[in-house]
Structure formats: C-alpha cells, structure tokens
Amino acid sequence: MTMRTLLLAAFTFFISISISTDLQAQDPNLANQYFVNGEYEKASALYVQLYERDKRSDYYFTRYVDCLLNLEQYDECEKVIKKQIKSSGQNNSLYVTYGNLFEKQNKEAEAEAQYKKAIEKMDADYASVERLARLFTSQSKFDYALETYEKGAELTRDKQRFAFNIGELYRRKGETTKMIEAYLNALGSDPGKLVVVQTRLAQTLTTDDYAELQTQLYNRVQNGSNPDYIEILAWSFVIQKDFQNALRQYKALDKRLGENGQRIMNLANDAAEASDYDAAIAGYEYIIDEKGQMSPFFYDAKKEIMECRRKKITEGYTYTIDDLKALETEYETFLQRFGKSTLTANLILQLANLEAYYMQNLSKAIYLLEELKSMPGLNRTTLAETKIQLGDFYLINGDIWESTLLYSQVDKDFKEETIGQEARFKNARLAYFNGDFQWAQAQFDVLKASTSKLISNDALDLSVFIMDNLNLDTSSAAISLYSGAELLVYQNRFDEAFLKLDTLRSEFPDHSLQDDILYLEAQIYAKKRDWEKAAKLYQEIVDKFPEEIRADNALFALAQIYETRLPDLEKAKELYERIFMEYSGSIFAVEARKEFRVLRGDKVQ
C-alpha cells in the first residue's frame, strides 16, 4: 500500500470519527436516555454541547443543571446559572433554579432569597404569573406558588383572577377552610366555575367540613346577590340528605330567578327516593300551590305527592284506618275535581293499590282498573301496568283464569321489554302456585337472564327452590302443599296458610322444606306487622339451617327488621356483615355490604 493511500485512509478514519462524535453530541435522544438511566456524566457532556448549539433552549439548560446537581458539582452549577442569569436576566424562573441549587446544599436562607427574587421580578401579566406559579407547584413549593398568585393579583389589579388556582393549592395543602374561601371567591368572579367547584368540594370535603362550607355560604348569601352561592348552599344540603334545608334554598332561588320549579321538582323526587317524605311532600306542594295547574309539572307533582303520602302512612306500619280513609278521600277528591283521564291514570293506579292492599276493598280496586283499562287513548305502557296490577287483584280474588289472561297479553305485547318479562314472571309464578312446576321452572330459567335485577333474582330464587325440593322420582305432594300455602299468603288468607303449613309439617316431618316453612311463616307475621314473631322465626332459620338456601334470605330480612322495625342498629350491622362475609355468593351480598357501610358511617355514593 502506498504512502498516499495510507494517508488517505487515516484522514477518512479521523473524519468519520469526528462526524460520528459530532452527530452523537447533537443527539438529544441519547442524552435523554443517559439521563433516564442515571448516567449523569455522559448526559451532562451531551447536554452542554446541545445547549451551546441552541442557547434559546430552556430544556437543554435545565437538564444540564439537573445533571450537575445530581453529580453534586455545585460550584460548576452556580457558575453556569450565574452566567445564564447575566445573559437572560429577564427570565425570572432562573432564580428558582438558583434557589434549588442552594436548597440542595441546605442553604435555606439563600434559597428563600432567590425564590423571593423570582416573585419580585415577575412581569405584570397573567401568563407570567401562571408560568411561575406552575413552576413552584411542580416542585411542591405550594407556599411560594400561593405568594406568586397573591402578588400576581396585585400586579394585574385583578383580585380574584387566580382564586380557583389558590383554592387548588390550599386543597393540596389540606387547608380546608382557606380552600373553601378561595373556591367561593372563584365562583363569585366566574359563574362558569360552578360545576367544577361542586366537583372539587364533593371530592374533598368530609362530613364535618360541610358545616364550614355552609357557614361561609350563609355569610355570602346574606351579603350578596350571587345566585350561585344559593345553588351551592342547597347542593351542600342535598349531599347531606338534608332535603328540608335544601328546599328552603331552592325556593328562594326559584323566586329570585323566576324559574318554572324544575329544580324543586327534581329535589322533591330525590327526597322521595331517599324516603324523606315530608321534604318531598313540601316540594310537591310548592309546585302545586305556587305554580298552579298550568305548570308542566302539576300533574306529576300531584301524582307524586299522593304516592309519598301513601308511602309515609304505609311504610311506617303505624297507620290507623282513619289515616287510610283520609288518604282515600284525598285521592277521590282530586279525581272528582280533575276527572278520570289519561292525565290522572297514575293516580287511579295508586288509589286501586290502596283499596286492594290496605282498605281490603278488592272489588273497588278491580272496578277502578277495569274502568281505566277501557279508557281511550291510554298510554300503552300505562295500559300494561294496569293489566299487570289487575291480574294481581284477580289472583288475590281467586280468579286465576282472568289473571293469567292479563299477564299473557302484556307478555305478548312487550316481548323484549322489562314490563313483558315482569308479566312472564308472574305467569310462571302462577303456574308454580298451581303445581305446574316443570313448566314454571323452565320459564324461571329463561328469566334468570332478565335485564331487571329484581326479576332475575326472583326467578333464580324460585328456580333453585323448585330444583332443591322437587324430586321427580317421588311424589310432588310436599312442594304442592307449600306452593298452595304461598298462594294463600299472597291472597292474605293467613289462617288458611298456617293450617296448610301445619299439614305439611306433620305429613312430611323429614322433608327438606322445614326451613322454607319457617320462612313463609315469618313472612306472614311480617305482613301482619308482628315484627317480634317474624324476627324470632328468621333467627330460628339462621340458627338451625345455616347451610340451606333460605339462610341468607332470613339474615337479610332479619337485618332489615332490626334496622327499621325493631331499631337495633348494631345488631343490624352485625347481620349485614355476616351476609357478605359468610354468604359472599348471595344475591344480597352487595346490598348487605352497602347497608353495613351506611350503618358504620361511611360516605357511600
């Protein structure tokens, strides 16, 4: 090889190395990889070259400084920062970087001086304030971020511009009182923040914190005219299920804004759902009395107020016949005044329910629904509800043919809908009452896939019951006696049901239905409002038959009795816990866990 060739090869080699090194130095991805891997020596060598090539890049500068800090090359780092400040003094974030250097060396006073200088040199514009505050926040320097926003409010002469940001910082610091004050300030300056403020408060406040929120809101409501404060105040009461106080605020808001009552209607519905019938009734009365018959909510309010009054009487289980008669008179007076029409159809359904199940006037209930069923223009869904309820009444009355005919009509007309599945379930249950167990079980097996949880659970319960107690190789006499007793209970013929169950117990003493007999007897006493006897029987099932299919049903029923009828909340809580601990596969497990948490005082959505 000639000398010329050797020199050319060497030159090419050095050129390629130079190009390779140059390219490597310009490769930010490689620098980033070194940094992520903790190879700060290699990363700093690349970042300094990248920064030298692009002096405008804050990113390369910051990464280079971070490398020096991690390598504890503090003197070099200070030299670099000072040089950058000298060339870019208007960039006040550099003082934060300088402060970080001192903080890294535990020089707190020097660090604080630099952080203060960063705030002092801040420009009087929103973007500069936001940028510096975000920088402090990203480093969890919340107090300096707060100072930045407060100084920014002075510089921009916009007192509440940064109120929401200040609220966020106090939230992160856990200072609830100041957080609430800042959020409310934000709401005062920007009504568009209503929803986000509600969301933040709901996420952050504990039960005890709502008293502080309400105190601050009362002061603002009394001293100002911002309707959003009333809205938040009412909302805070709704969160606490204090519907009476929420209603008071919503009434004020409705009158101030000249609204049509929709928010009060919604509140009354929420109160009814939570079984606060007094608050619900007061809300519906406001719609009826203040808004009048021309209100789009008038008939709905009237329907719901009657339903609430019925539930308030009947769910308390302390009603008298005089209470029932007064309610009956109220229904009839309203129907006489406004007439029986498609608009009052739901009220007729409610009155029929009252007559059949509480006034024991089955013939009047049937007459009301037969009349309603024939009404021209009746909504098809309301017609279906009428037929199902009428079918129930005919079944109670012993007219099984009419009952199954009505159920079948609804099933045919609403094949794929929930109301059709309800009718199919009732038809299957009727077959079960009559002893046609195989056909009934086939229907229940299909209905186990129902989209309605209630129908699905009931179908599963009866399907398992039939399978558990019907041995096709022997007589079905025992289960026939039991299903016949269930029909008698459904018809409120309790004495006959007890006699049939006594026959079952004496003729089949070793049959697996013993726990079911106790369960049905407990249900009879519950219907008769004899809670002591019902509880005793449910407890007997739990004690004697813990492995049988009625055990979890009995536990849940017993827990509800102790929660609502024989108040012993500790006992109820203990029973709910047993359900989800010992019967985790039960259909009651999820509800039992929820009730347990409520009784324990947890915040449950």
Q: What is the CATH number of the domain that holds 571?
A: 1.25.40.10
Q: What is the pLDDT of residue 89?
A: 65
CA distances from 296 to 19, 140, 260, 377 (A): 80, 53, 8, 20
Per the CB < 8 A criterion, the answer to whether 270 and 262 are in contact is no
Which of 53-62, 151-160, 521-530 bottoms out in mean pLDDT, i.e. has the lowest? 53-62
Residue 231 lies in a domain: no
Residue 364, Cβ density class (10 Å: 0-12 exposed, 13-18 middle, ≥19 buried):
middle
pLDDT grade, residue 189 (50/70/90)? Answer: confident
First to last CA, the chain: 86
pLDDT greater at residue 45 or residue 6: 45
Residue 354 lies in a domain: no
Q: What is the pLDDT of residue 232?
A: 92
Q: What is the pLDDT of residue 544?
A: 95
Residue 487 lies in a domain: yes
pLDDT grade, residue 391 (50/70/90)? Answer: very high
Residue 286 has pLDDT above 80, yes or no: yes
Residue 259 lies in a domain: no
Residue 504 lies in a domain: yes
Q: Would you give the DSSP letter of residue 191?
A: G
pLDDT grade, residue 317 (50/70/90)? Answer: low
Amino acid residing at 428: A
Q: Which domain holds residue 513?
A: 477-600
Per the CB < 8 A criterion, the answer to whether 345 and 378 are in contact is yes
pLDDT digits (tens, 9 = 90+) for 447-464: 999 889 899 989 998 998
pLDDT (average), residues 325-347: 91
Q: What is the pLDDT of residue 315?
A: 76
Residue 502 lies in a domain: yes
Residue 120 has pLDDT above 60, yes or no: yes
pLDDT grade, residue 520 (50/70/90)? Answer: very high
pLDDT digits (tens, 9 = 90+) for 552-590: 999 999 999 999 888 899 999 999 999 999 999 998 999
pLDDT (average), residues 241-252: 93
Residue 6 has pLDDT above 60, yes or no: no
Q: Please, what's the b/e burial string for 103-112 (b: 16 or more CB within 10 A of its CB; e: otherwise)?
A: beeeeeeebe
pLDDT grade, residue 267 (50/70/90)? Answer: very high
Task: Report the candidate in 542, 535, 485 with the shortest Cα–Cα distance to residue 508.
Answer: 485
Which of 184-193, 265-274, 353-362, 551-560 bottoms out in mean pLDDT, i.e. has the lowest? 184-193
Which of 22-31, 204-213, 361-370, 550-559 bottoms out in mean pLDDT, i.e. has the lowest? 22-31
pLDDT (average), residues 390-415: 95
- Tell me the angle at which helices 58-70 and 93-104 cross, rounded to the nearest 10 degrees: 10
Amino acid residing at 196: V
Residue 535 has pLDDT above 90, yes or no: yes
Q: What is the pLDDT of residue 114?
A: 92
Residue 191 lies in a domain: no
Q: Please, what's the b/e burial string for 330-362 (b: 16 or more CB within 10 A of its CB; e: otherwise)?
A: ebeebbeeeeeeeebbbbbbbbbbbbbbbbebb
Residue 496 lies in a domain: yes
pLDDT grade, residue 17 (50/70/90)? Answer: very low
Q: What is the pLDDT of residue 474?
A: 60
pLDDT (average), residues 25-52: 85
pTM, rounded to two decimals: 0.67
Q: What is the pLDDT of residue 570?
A: 94
Strands (E), 260-369: none
Residue 51 has pLDDT above 90, yes or no: no
Residue 115, Cβ density class (10 Å: 0-12 exposed, 13-18 middle, ≥19 buried):
buried
pLDDT greater at residue 192 or residue 108: 108
Domains of the chain: total: 1
Q: What is the pLDDT of residue 28?
A: 84
Mean pLDDT taken over the chain: 89
